[in-house]
Amino acid sequence: MSTAVPLVDLAAQQQEIHEEVMAGLADVFATTAFIGGKPVGEFELAYADTTDVAHCVGVANGTDAVELALRGVGVRAGGEVIVPANTFIATAEAISRIGATPVLVDVDPEHLLMDPDLVPAAITSRTQAIVPVHLFGQVAPVERVLAVAGDIPVVEDAAQSQGATRFGRSAGSLAAAAGTSFYPGKNLGAAGDAGAVTTQDAAVAARVRLIANHGSARKYDHEVIGMNSRLDTVQAVVLNAKLRRLPAWNERRREAAARYTSMLADVPGVRVPRSAEGNVDVWHLYVVRVQDRDLVLRRLNESGIGAGIHYPVPLHLTRAYAGLGRGAGAFPVAERAAAEILSLPLHPHLTTDQQDRVVLALREAVRSAPAR
Ligand SMILES: *Cc1c(COP(=O)(O)O)cnc(C)c1O
C-alpha cells in the first residue's frame, strides 16, 4: 500500500529546522521584540549577501514586495507596467494597487517567460516599468529586457527563484529592484506570509523602507502616504534558519529535476522543461506539458500523486482582469501553455521512490489518454 506523494512537503522542512527555530522564538518572546529587532536585521543582511545585492528590505509578503519595488523605482497612479500574461496574479495585483495598469505581453514557447521581442510594441509614453517574472525557478532573460527598455526601469518578480543564477548572477540582482516572496511553499518559505525587496540602489532601498513603514523614517514624521508592510520578527527567525539550508535544498531540487528529466525522456507525449543557456535554475516547480492535461491530472490525483497546474488561467482571461479587454486569442502562447502544463511533485525532500511512483503513474495516465 503506497502513500500519497505530495506536491510540497513542509513537514519535512520543519523537522530539519525545528530546534533552531524554537530556540530563536523563545528569545523573541523573552525579549518581546516583536517588530524589527535583531533577527530582522540579520536576515536582511544575509539575504542581501545571498542575492549579491547591497540592500534588502524585509516586508510583509511578496505582493507587497513587488508593489514596493515598483513604487521604489517611481511607478505612480495612471502609469503602465508591462508584465507577462503567464504569471501568478500577484504580479498584476501589485501594479493595480498602485493605480497603474498592467500591460500584458505573451511569453516564449520554450520557457514560458516574458518574450523580450514583444516588449517594444507594448511600450507607450505612459510605461513606467517592465516586470520580467522568474517563473518556475527559472531566470528570465533580464539582460534582453534591459536592452529594449531604454530608460524605463526594470523590476524583477523573483518570488519563485531564490538562489537561481543567470550567467553567474543572482535572480533579484539583475535590474533596478526586485520583489520576492517567502510564502511557505516558495523555495525559501516562512511560517506564514513574508517577502523582501532587493536592490543595488541605496535611494530605492530607502524609499521602499520609508513607504513600508507608514511613510516615516523617524517616528511620527510622515513624509509620504505609506503603508504597513514589515517583516515580522517571528518570520525572520524561521527565514534565518531556512536560508542557511537553501543552497543544499536547491541542490536537491536540481538533482530531482535532472532525475525526472532522464526518466521521462522516453515517455511519449510528455514534454519536459529545459534550462535556458546560462541559467542555473532552482526548480520551484517542475512543469511538464501533455495533451489531454485535465484527464492526465485527474488520473494522477486519483493515484495519489499531488500534481497541480501553475497557472490554469492566463491573467487576461481571469474574471478579475476582464476589464483589460483582452479576450481569448490575445496571447496564444500563454493560452496554449495553460491548457498543457502540469506541475509534478518536486521539493527538497522528495525521495527517489516517490519519484519512481510519479513517473510510473504519469506513464500510465498518458498512455490511457485518448489518442489524437
Ligand atoms: C508567490 C508569488 C507572488 C506573491 O507572493 P505572496 O507572498 O503570496 O504575496 C508574486 N509573484 C509570483 C510569481 C509568485 O509566485
In contact, 142 and 156? CB cutoff 8 Å: yes
Read off the pLDDT of residues 265-300 as tens digits, 9 standing for 90 and up: 989 999 999 999 999 999 999 999 999 999 999 999
Q: Whose CA is nearest to atom 5 of ligand 1?
A: 62
Q: Is the CB of 136 under 6 A from ligand 1?
A: no
Q: Is the CB of 183 under 6 A from ligand 1?
A: yes
- pLDDT at 138 > cutoff 80: yes
Task: Catalogue all structural domains in the chain, each as residue range(s) with its CATH number.
Answer: 10-243 (3.40.640.10), 246-367 (3.90.1150.10)
C-alpha cell at 334: 500563454
Beta bridge partners of 329: none
In contact, 76 and 57? CB cutoff 8 Å: no
In contact, 179 and 159? CB cutoff 8 Å: yes
Peptide bond between residue 321 and the one before it cis (omega within 30 degrees of 0): no
Non-local CB neighbours of 191 within 8 Å, separated by 6+ positions: 21, 184, 234, 235, 238
- pLDDT at 127 > cutoff 60: yes
Label the pairing between strands 279-280 and 221-222: unpaired
Q: What is the pLDDT of residue 3?
A: 73
Q: Whose CA is nearest to atom 6 of ligand 1?
A: 62
Q: What is the pLDDT of residue 2?
A: 58
Q: Please give the number of the atom of ligand 1 that sits closest to the Cα of 63.
A: 9
Mean per-residue pLDDT, 147-176: 98
- pLDDT at 372 > cutoff 60: no
Q: Please give the number of the atom of ligand 1 that sits closest to the Cα of 193.
A: 7
Q: What is the mean pLDDT of the chain?
A: 96
Q: Whose CA is nearest to atom 14 of ligand 1?
A: 159
Mean per-residue pLDDT, 347-354: 97
Mean per-residue pLDDT, 174-185: 98
Pocket test for ligand 1, best of 8, 59, 63 (most atoms within 8 A of CB): 63
Q: How far apart are CA 90 and CA 131, in angstroms?
A: 12
- pLDDT at 144 > cutoff 50: yes
- pLDDT at 188 > cutoff 50: yes
Q: Is the CB of 84 under 6 A from ligand 1?
A: no
Q: What is the pLDDT of residue 1?
A: 39
% of the chain beyond a pLDDT of 90: 95
Taking alpha carbons only, the member of 6, 56, 13, 33 closest to residue 190 is 13
Q: Please give the number of the atom of ligand 1 that sits closest to the Cα of 134.
A: 13
186 is a catalytic site residue: yes
CA 224 to chain centre: 29
Q: How far is the CA of 232 from the centre of ligand 1 (A)?
A: 17
- pLDDT at 355 > cutoff 60: yes
Mean per-residue pLDDT, 165-183: 98
How many beta carbons lie within 10 A of that of residue 88, not counting itself?
Answer: 19
Per-residue pLDDT band at 369 (split at 50, 70, 90): confident
Non-local CB neighbours of 53 within 8 Å, separated by 6+ positions: 170, 172, 173, 198, 199, 200
In contact, 250 and 187? CB cutoff 8 Å: yes
Q: Is the CB of 173 under 6 A from ligand 1?
A: no
User: Active site residue: 38, 186, 219, 242, which one?
Assistant: 186
Read off the pLDDT of residues 218-245 as tens digits, 9 standing for 90 and up: 999 999 999 999 999 999 999 999 999 9
Read off the pLDDT of residues 308-319 as tens digits, 9 standing for 90 and up: 999 999 999 999
Read off the pLDDT of residues 40-84 as tens digits, 9 standing for 90 and up: 999 999 999 999 999 999 999 999 999 999 999 999 999 999 999
Q: How far apart are CA 228 and CA 287, in angstroms?
A: 35
Q: How far is the CA of 130 from the centre of ligand 1 (A)?
A: 17
Q: CA–CA distance from 77 to each of 95, 99, 198, 276, 364 (Å)?
A: 9, 4, 23, 35, 51
How many beta carbons lie within 10 A of that of residue 61, not counting itself?
Answer: 23
